[in-house]
Amino acid sequence: MLALRHPQEARIGFVPTMGFLHEGHLSLVAESTKNCDITIVSIFVNPAQFGPNEDLESYPRDLDRDLALLEQNGVDYVFFPDPDMMYPKPYHTWVEVSDLSGILCGASRPGHFRGVCTVVLKLVNIVKPHFMYMGEKDFQQLTILTIMHRDLNLSTRIIGCPIIRESDGLAKSSRNVYLNSADRKTAVCLSQALFKARSAVAAGLRDAAALIATAKADITASGAKVDYVEIVSATDLSKADIIDEQSRMLIAVYVGKTRLIDNLQLL
C-alpha cells in the first residue's frame, strides 16, 4: 500500500476501483474526503470478474496517471495489489450472493458477481473501512454488495453515489475509451432511452412492459444491440410490472463490440 498522506487514524473511507480513473471515480473520492478523515483507494483489475472471452488483457490501465490524480484529489493511501497477492495459489474460497448473481448482467457474464463479491470482501477485510463509496452506474453490483454486507454482518457501510455523465448524457465509464467516433454517437442511446422512460412515467405511464418495449425499439433503431432492458425494484432487483417509487430501469447494450450499462430511477 502506498501512503500519499499521513493523517491521524480516524474514520476511514474506501473507494474500490479497477483504475483508469475518470470523473465518476473522482466524485466517489470527493465524497470520501469530505466525510472521512482518511481516504483509501484500491486499484486492482480483478481477473476473477472477467469471463474467458472478455477484455481482461485489454482493459485500460495507467497507474502513474491514476496515482497523480488521486494525490491531487486528497487521497491518503492507494492499495494496488497484484493478482498473486489477492489470489495466492492454490486458491479455493469464493463468495456469491445466490439468485441475484445470475440475473441481468449475471446472465450475460456467468461468474462475474462471484468474482466481484470475493474481491470486495477481501478488500474490505484488508482495508477495514468504516465507509465504502460506490457509484450507482452498476446498480446490480451495488445492490448485491449491499446484501452481501448485510448477510455477512460486515460493519462497513456502503454509500451509493450518483452516476456522473458526459454533457450529452452518456454515463462515465472506463470502457468508453473503446468507442470510436461513430460508436460514441450511438452510445447516447442508453441515457436517451432512460430519460425518455422517466418522462413517460412523469406523464402518467405506469406499465413497465410498455416502457421496456419502447426503450428496446429506440435502442435497436439507433444501431446498438440490446443485451437487456428491465425495470426492477431498487431494493431487491425483482421485476416490476407497475411503476412505483422503487422502480428503476436497468439497461445493458452492445455498441459495436463494447458492452455498456446504465440505469435510472423512474419516479
Residue type, 146: T
From the list 25, 92, 130, 149, the catalytic residue is 25
pLDDT value for 10: 87
Kindly tell me if the per-residue pLDDT of 9 is higher than 90: no
Kindly tell me if the per-residue pLDDT of 7 is higher than 80: no
pLDDT digits (tens, 9 = 90+) for 94-135: 999 999 999 999 999 999 999 999 999 999 999 999 999 999
Asked if 25 is an active-site residue, the reply is yes
- Same domain, yes or no: 60 and 114: yes
- Same domain, yes or no: 136 and 205: no
Structural domain of 29: 2-161
Quickly count: other Cβ atoms within 10 Å of residue 195's Cβ: 13
Cα 236 from Cα 248, distance rounded (Å) = 11
Residue appearing with cell numbers 432511452: 193
Classify the C-alpha dihedral 36-41-46-49 as positive or negative. Answer: positive
- Same domain, yes or no: 97 and 13: yes
Whether residue 90 is preceded by a cis peptide bond, meaning omega within 30 degrees of 0, is yes
pLDDT digits (tens, 9 = 90+) for 159-205: 999 999 999 999 999 999 999 999 999 999 999 999 999 999 999 99
DSSP 215-233: HHHHHHHTT-EEEEEEEEE
pLDDT value for 175: 97
Among 163, 85, 159, 167, which residue's Cα sits nearest to residue 122?
85
Cα 27 from Cα 54, distance rounded (Å) = 27
The answer, as to whether pTM is greater than 0.85, is: yes
- Buried b / exposed e over 224-243, threshold 16 CB at 10 Å, is bebbbbbbbebeebeebeeb
Kindly tell me if the per-residue pLDDT of 137 is higher than 80: yes
- Same domain, yes or no: 198 and 66: no
For residue 47, is it within any domain? Answer: yes
**CATH code, domain with 196:** 3.30.1300.10
Domain closes at, from 140, 161, 182: 161
Kindly tell me if the per-residue pLDDT of 85 is higher than 60: yes
pLDDT value for 8: 55
Domain closes at, from 139, 161, 183: 161
